[in-house]
Chains A and B, each alone.
Chain A
Amino acid sequence: MIFVTVGAQMPFDRLITWVDDWATAHERSDIQAQIGPSDLEPRTLEVLPFLDPQAFRRQMEDATAIVAHAGMGTIITALELGVPILVVPRLGKLDETRNDHQVATAKRLAEDGLVLAAYGEAEFAAQMEVLERQASGERGAARIGAQASHSLLARVREFTVGEG
């Protein structure tokens, strides 16, 4: 199952439409999506209701691959679980979010090999093929530990509760 999520706060119909078109063209019935507060009625995607944090995490854990907006909550959860993730950044100019910060997030994390990223529809379709190869285990996805880096924890601990 591929899990698609755009977060709960805002719709991201551009991405949902891309995934739905891809799923329809590839006759895929194993794609479940959280589409946010949207009136869109996808042809092929199965739309899920709102999931609480635990159900959301279980849904991500059960997925072979994730397609999402470039929100850090989703990205970090995918990396914790080691599930491959393809992100499409929301654009400020299309009123998909306040500004273009998701573009920088997607670019940088893709450069670091943590996520796959796509910016246009043709690139999205091509990256879906790469995502499928990652999901089938040909190339493993990145994975991170359960907590912040040791240096960050040490600095914050020393500053807040350190002696003196």
Chain B
Amino acid sequence: MSETTPKPPAVQRRRKILAVASGGGHWVQLRRLVPAFEGHEVVYVTINEVYKSDVPGERIYIVNDATRWDRLGSAKLALRILWILLKERPHAVVSTGAAPGCFAIIFGRLLGAKTVWLDSVANIEQMSMSGVMVKRYSQLWLTQWQHLAEADATGDGPEFAGKVF
């Protein structure tokens, strides 16, 4: 005789998010965004060992930072980011900038991840150069300033959904 067992409640699948930022304000803003992924696995990528102490017990990769004029550094960073993505295969890639996030968004999108670019709140007059570079790879391309979202009447501009504070 079979017993009827109550159906377990629908559990949301645990996803892996790769959260990428360089240092300083980019990192501070990324950390304020991470509560969005509560209940899911967040793997961090940043540029300095000192930030490990901000996320104790969490998985974190440290990469080199690079400016767009530093070709060797950029190549090294690109390869390292690609390697991390191939190893982790995240469901989504989220970045607040700058260079490491650029590569992560581009490669992440090419590998089929969902991609979110959140331009720094410091970019009040226009989207950052990094932001513009990753626009076509960012499925969600966000500004933190309403006037920048409204400035583009073609509907091709950034979306505004709020600020990191």
Chain A residues engaging chain B, CB cutoff 8 angstroms:
7-9, 52-54, 71-77, 79, 101-102, 104-105, 108, 144-157, 159-161, 163
Contact = CB atoms under 8 A, between A and B. Distances in A.
Contacts of A150: 162
A55 B161 CA distance: 33
Contact of B32 (A75, A146, A154, A159): A146
Contacts of A9: 23-24
B contact patch SS:
mixed
B50 interface: yes
27 contacts: A8-B24, A52-B53, A53-B53, A71-B122, A72-B24, A72-B25, A72-B120, A73-B23, A73-B26, A76-B29, A76-B165, A77-B28, A101-B122, A104-B124, A104-B125, A145-B165, A146-B32, A148-B162, A148-B163, A149-B165, A150-B162, A152-B33, A153-B162, A157-B36, A160-B36, A161-B17, A161-B37
Nearest to A145: B165
A97 to B, nearest CB: 11
B25 A148 contact: no
B36 A148 contact: yes
